[in-house]
Amino acid sequence: MKTDLYIHPDYYNMDSMLSEEHKLIREATRSWVKKEVVPIIDENYENATFPNHIIPGLGEVGAFGPYIPEKYGGPGLDQISYGLIMQELERCDSGLRSTASVQSSLVMYPIYSWGSEEQKEKYLPKLATGEMIGCFGLTEPDFGSNPGGMLSNYKDSGDHVVLNGSKMWISNAPFADIAVVWAKNEDGRIHGLIVERGMEGFSTPEMHGKLSLRASATGELIFDNVKVPKTNILPGKSGLGAPLKCLDSARYGIAWGTLGAAMDCYDQALRYSKERTQFGTPIASFQLIQKKLAEMITEITKAQLLTLRLGQLRNEGKATSAQISMAKRNNCEIALNIAREARQIHGAMGITDEYSIMRHMANLESVITYEGTHDIHLLITGMDVTGIPAFKKE
Ligand code: TGC
Ligand code: FAD
């Protein structure tokens, strides 16, 4: 079995800006990940399976709804703790973090923010422990970057509504117990509905053939005249702004998570470069290797500062959607670049599963695309600074 030697880089002593509680939460997650997930992740990645048996453990480390109050079964942590947990999970594998992000930010967050008291009491405590798993259906086959065009719709039918349509690329879908689904009512207004596995006409076929994020289950959601009780509609918010607000929370977690993947790649590259000898000397002594390592740690340090500051703003309730987009975009980009450079430092060994680098690199191709593509986030920043949206052709 491989030994996990990870030591996280902290060039600017960022740890001095964390509380003792933050460090304890990070350490607890790191130890659990090292013990329970690191030894099995390669096999799951290779087999394209999610290790369902670790779900209760994810609940125990607080990875499901870290900021959900204790009243609803969550640990009631702050936003920086949430970020640190995501960082430790993605340090191991983006698919692991994905499962937790979807459950936390895309399922628990909307139920907590806009659910009725009955919905909160029914679903949140079970989601917090992992007794129940959720997924989030926004993307459709013809509406990815432009979710506002969605075709999924429902019609009023007495005490229930009848839902039709389909969603694609849905993380956790194949084994989720519930789906938070975004669909239009008869007036064309978007609402969130909680659809439960077992409702007649609702199916979740698994999508196969992914060469990225293989340790995360992805599927479709198909609604064929599904009768959804009206009590399952989220009453507190409607319009595209509702699912986009959930994305803010998930994108924030991804900013922390991708930094974890970047730090893992850098840590391995630094160690390998000191151990690997060529031309009678450690490759770390070559200027070109040092250039790669110096640039990696510089980008990681800048991203750590950006991300922690964003966490402080989130704690104060002051982070804007555009600030979150900037961090998601930046951290995905630096993580992918660092994974590519770390792969080169490892030479041929870098393409094997001896190291997690190639797996991170392949995973990050999904992460740079989902939750808003790299270019969509660039356009969000462009719109924010100019006041002019460049998404649509008039
Ligand atoms: P637009 O007209 O700009 O906005 C519609 C309404 O939404 C409001 N809004 C936001 N609200 C909260 N947070 C945000 N980030 C928001 N962005 C916009 C906006 O104020 C407006 O409100 P109102 O009251 O005026 O109606 O919308 P648009 O149709 O022009 O689209 C804008 C665009 C392109 C930025 C947006 O649609 C977008 O972000 N597209 C990307 C789609 C995306 O990210 N999909 C992700 C699907 S989920 C996923 O990938 C999960 S992966 C999970 C995992 O495994 O980790
Ligand atoms: P498209 O929107 O078709 O984009 C294709 C290309 O066109 C991109 O390069 C894009 O940047 C570019 N483009 C599009 N519009 C513009 C524009 N206006 N200006 C400039 N360029 C533009 N979705 C969910 O709802 N729930 C999930 O749980 C979920 N999980 C996912 C898991 C995985 C592994 C993956 C890969 C995706 C997941 N998604 C999920 C879907 C994801 O959010 C979408 O793939 C993403 O939003 C992009 O949509 P698309 O793939 O349809 O690409």
pLDDT in tens, 203-226: 999 999 999 999 999 999 999 999
In the structure, what pLDDT confidence band is assigned to residue 330 with cuts at 50, 70 and 90?
A: very high
**Contact between 77 and 24 (Cβ < 8 Å):** no
Specify burial of residue 304 (Cβ count, 10 A radius: 0-12, 13-18, 19+): buried
Asked whether residue 392 carries a pLDDT value surpassing 90, the answer given is no
Asked whether residue 356 carries a pLDDT value surpassing 70, the answer given is yes
Asked whether residue 174 carries a pLDDT value surpassing 70, the answer given is yes
What is the mean predicted confidence (pLDDT) over 368-392?
97
Share of the chain above pLDDT 90, in %: 98
In 3D space, the residue among 86, 89, 85, 68 whose CA is nearest the CA of residue 77 turns out to be: 68
Asked whether residue 394 carries a pLDDT value surpassing 80, the answer given is no
User: How far does residue 244's CA lie from ligand 1's centre (Å)?
Assistant: 4
Nearest ligand for residue 392 CA: 2
- Supply the pLDDT for residue 245: 98
Specify burial of residue 381 (Cβ count, 10 A radius: 0-12, 13-18, 19+): middle
> What tens digit of pLDDT does each residue of 251-264 get?
999 999 999 999 99
> What tens digit of pLDDT does each residue of 226-281 get?
999 999 999 999 999 999 999 999 999 999 999 999 999 999 999 999 999 999 99
Nearest ligand for residue 372 CA: 1
- Is pTM beyond 0.95? Reply is yes
Domain parsing of the chain, residue ranges: 14-133, 135-232, 241-386
In the structure, what pLDDT confidence band is assigned to residue 3 with cuts at 50, 70 and 90?
A: confident
- What's the chain's average pLDDT? 97
User: How far does residue 329's CA lie from ligand 2's centre (Å)?
Assistant: 14
Active-site annotation holds for 43:
no
Residue identifier of the C-alpha nearest atom 40 of ligand 1 = 145
> What tens digit of pLDDT does each residue of 43-64 get?
999 999 999 999 999 999 999 9
> What tens digit of pLDDT does each residue of 62-74 get?
999 999 999 999 9
What is the mean predicted confidence (pLDDT) over 362-386?
98
Q: Which CATH topology does 14-133 take? A: Butyryl-Coa Dehydrogenase, subunit A; domain 1 (1.10.540)
User: How far does residue 389's CA lie from ligand 1's centre (Å)?
Assistant: 12
Return the CATH class of domain 135-232.
mainly beta
**Contact between 159 and 230 (Cβ < 8 Å):** yes
Beta-carbon contacts of 326 under 8 Å, excluding residues fewer than 6 positions away, are 306, 377, 381
Q: Which CATH topology does 241-386 take? A: Butyryl-CoA Dehydrogenase, subunit A; domain 3 (1.20.140)
Q: In the structure, which protein residues have their CB atom closer than 6 angstroms to any atom of ligand 2?
A: 102, 135-139, 144-145, 169-171, 213, 218, 366, 369-371, 373, 375-376, 379, 391
What is the mean predicted confidence (pLDDT) over 7-18?
97
> What tens digit of pLDDT does each residue of 98-154 get?
999 999 999 999 999 999 999 999 999 999 999 999 999 999 999 999 999 999 999
In the structure, what pLDDT confidence band is assigned to residue 351 with cuts at 50, 70 and 90?
A: very high
**Contact between 189 and 175 (Cβ < 8 Å):** no
Q: Is 102's C-beta closer than 6 angstroms to any atom of ligand 1? A: yes
- Supply the pLDDT for residue 180: 98
- Tell me, yes or no, if the two domains 135-232 and 241-386 fold the same way: no
In the structure, what pLDDT confidence band is assigned to residue 1 with cuts at 50, 70 and 90?
A: low
**Contact between 257 and 224 (Cβ < 8 Å):** no
